[in-house]
Structure formats: C-alpha cells, structure tokens
C-alpha cells in the first residue's frame, strides 16, 4: 500500500513537471515569485513606483470629487472589493448613463500585464488609459481643468504631490492620471497557478492539472496566453459569430480586433464578454469554444476547463479604504441641478 502511495506521488510530480513545460511552450507565463522581478515588470521607467505615489494614487482612485457629479470614482466601475469590476452588463456612469456602446467594465486587477488598454486597444498603457474615463461624458464627465481645480484646491493633496514628486511638481491633469496608474500597477494577484508554473509541482490538484491540459490541447492558449492569460488584440468570432453581437454597436478596432480579457480571477468577473451578455462561466467557456476554436466543448471538457480557471483566483493586495481630505472654499462646487 505504501509503495502505491509513493508511486502515485511520483507520477503526479512527473506529470506536473511535464505539464509545466507544456504550458510554457504554449505561451503561458507566471507572475514572477521574486518581488524585485515583479517590480521590474510592472513599473513604468518614466513614472517609477514609490510608496508615496502608490498611497496618493490610491486616494485619487477612490476620490469621487474627480467626477463632475462628485459621486463617481475609479472604484465605482472597477470595484476592488468585487473582482475589480462593477458586475454590470453595461457600465453605468454620469447621470446614470449606460455605456453608449453597450460595453462592460473590465477588471482593473492585473491590467498592468495587458499590451493595450480598453476593449478596442486604443490606449498603450495605464497612464494614458487613466485619462479617458475621467473625461468621458458617460463615465466621470470631468474636464481637465475641473480635475486640476479640485486637486489644487485641497492643501493636503498639494502636500502629498510634493512629497511624491518633489516641491516643484506641476499638479496638472496628466500628473493626476499618472499617479492613479502607479497605484493600479500594484493591483497584481498571484495565484497557485503561478506557484505551479514557477516550479511548485503540487500547487495544482490533479483535477486542476487535467483542466490546464484540456485548456492547452483545445487551443485556448491561442488568445489567452502570457502572464495575463489575455490582454492582447485578437480577431473575434473567428469560427462563428458571437451569439450576442447585436447587443451594443461595438465591433472591435478598425481591423475588427478585440482586446482579450484576462482569465485571472475570471470566476469573479461575471457577466462575461465585452457586452456582459453571458452570465455563467460554463456558458462563456462553451461560447468561446464555438466562436473562437470551432469546437463544441462537451460538459466534461467544460467542467475540466472551469476547474482549472478556479486556480487563477489570486491573492489580492490588502486595500485599506483611504480617508480623503476635506474640500475647501475654492474646491469646484457640484451643481446638483445642472449635473
């Protein structure tokens, strides 16, 4: 009996080792286990990460006064307590406006690993992306001058910017967005899957390893690869049309390409697809198989992939809700009647 147990352990270890190689050959990469390697990967050399910037960026991320209504913050749509999303099929913004293109809010967790930002990939990095929603009419609807007026009118923010960037810092709209992006670059969620690819062969159960094997052999890694298991621009509806493509007017970028969503923490980011029309992960898996791979995944294959995807639930950074400084007499006022 003891020999059988030892043999089973050895077999699992060998299978794990070969599967790690297979996964890496398929283009899958782990979040580095080394803090130094991770910082090198996530930091922007033109906007280096520091503790002072991260703390200030967190405050601005939760700051509703950066919106025209004084009610909406980055966290409204990218809620860090609910998987980095709002759980809505279509994002809701200023004056309870639904996204005009029927687009959902993608998770902000692990967005630092994307090659491009937004569903149509129009933004090259988080610093640029952070400027968009603040100004967008259906989102936070705040002009650049309004945002600058809010931040510069509050002495505590001015002091914190000087601490983060130096006493001669110019606190303009771009600097506000840059600082939010520094905080977002820290929202990384390593999981047992990363432990597995980093060499800990027993980090995934036999069932999860089987699911990973199915994930690879069925071709899911064609689009869901690299560290983010997504985040690049890919053709959409390769084998068949998405069954809810008529909901909203989004058709991708000029070439019909769509930014692939990350699969990290995917169990927490329902509803699925760009227009949030699929409620369950099993249905999403089957629909992806049909429209992208041209295969009808059976219930067992779907369950195996689902089991693997659960292993992508990562450890989120501890976020303490910041206490924001008080407005002053010069802080731009919200006009509740015209807002």
And the tokens for 99? 């996204």
H runs (alpha helix) in 276-315: 281-288, 299-310
Looking at residue 67, the DSSP 8-state letter turns out to be S
Instruction: Determine contact, residues 228/189, Cβ cutoff 8 Å.
Output: no
Residues facing 258 on adjacent strands: 234
How many other CB atoms are there within 10 angstroms of residue 37's CB atom? 11
Looking at residue 88, the DSSP 8-state letter turns out to be -
Residues 6+ apart with CB under 8 A from 249: 101, 102
Instruction: Determine contact, residues 188/110, Cβ cutoff 8 Å.
Output: yes
Concerning whether 139 is annotated as a catalytic residue, the answer is: yes
* Distance between CA atoms of residues 239 and 254, nearest Å: 20
Instruction: Determine contact, residues 258/119, Cβ cutoff 8 Å.
Output: yes
Residues 6+ apart with CB under 8 A from 113: 41, 42, 188, 226, 227, 228, 231, 262
Nearest CA to 230 out of 186, 198, 261 is that of: 261
Q: 271 preceded by cis ω (within 30°)? A: yes
- Choosing from 139, 148, 184, 301, the catalytic residue is 139
- Point out the residues that are catalytic: 139
């Amino acid at each position: 009996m003891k020999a059988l147990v030892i043999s089973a352990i050895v077999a699992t270890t060998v299978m794990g080792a070969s599967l790690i190689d297979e996964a890496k050959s398929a283009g899958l990469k782990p979040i580095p286990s080394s803090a130094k390697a991770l910082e090198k990967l996530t930091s922007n050399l033109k906007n280096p990460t520091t503790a002072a910037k991260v703390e200030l960026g967190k405050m601005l991320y939760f700051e509703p006064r950066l919106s025209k209504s004084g009610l909406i913050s980055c966290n409204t749509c990218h809620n860090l307590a609910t998987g980095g999303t709002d759980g809505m099929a279509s994002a809701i913004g200023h004056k309870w406006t639904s996204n005009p293109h029927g687009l959902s809010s993608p998770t902000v967790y692990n967005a630092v690993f994307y090659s491009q930002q937004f569903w149509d990939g129009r933004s090259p990095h988080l610093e640029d992306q952070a400027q968009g929603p603040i100004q967008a009419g259906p989102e936070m609807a705040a002009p650049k001058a309004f945002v600058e007026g809010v931040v510069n009118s509050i002495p505590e923010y001015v002091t914190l910017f000087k601490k983060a960037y130096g006493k001669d810092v110019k606190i303009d709209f771009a600097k506000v967005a840059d600082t939010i992006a520094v905080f977002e670059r820290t929202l990384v969620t390593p999981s047992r899957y990363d432990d597995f690819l980093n060499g800990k062969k027993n980090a995934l159960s036999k069932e999860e390893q089987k699911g990973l094997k199915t994930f690879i052999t069925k071709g899911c890694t064609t689009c869901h690869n690299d560290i983010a298991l997504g985040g690049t621009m890919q053709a959409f509806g390769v084998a068949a049309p998405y069954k809810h493509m008529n909901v909203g007017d989004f058709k991708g970028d000029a070439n019909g390409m769509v930014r692939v969503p990350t699969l990290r923490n995917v169990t927490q980011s329902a509803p699925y697809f760009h227009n949030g029309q699929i409620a369950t992960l099993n249905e999403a898996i089957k629909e992806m198989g049909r429209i992208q791979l041209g295969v009808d995944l059976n219930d067992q294959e779907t369950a195996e992939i689902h089991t693997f995807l659960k292993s992508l639930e990562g450890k989120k950074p501890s976020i303490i809700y910041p206490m924001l400084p008080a407005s002053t007499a010069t802080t731009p006022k919200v006009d509740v009647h015209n807002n």
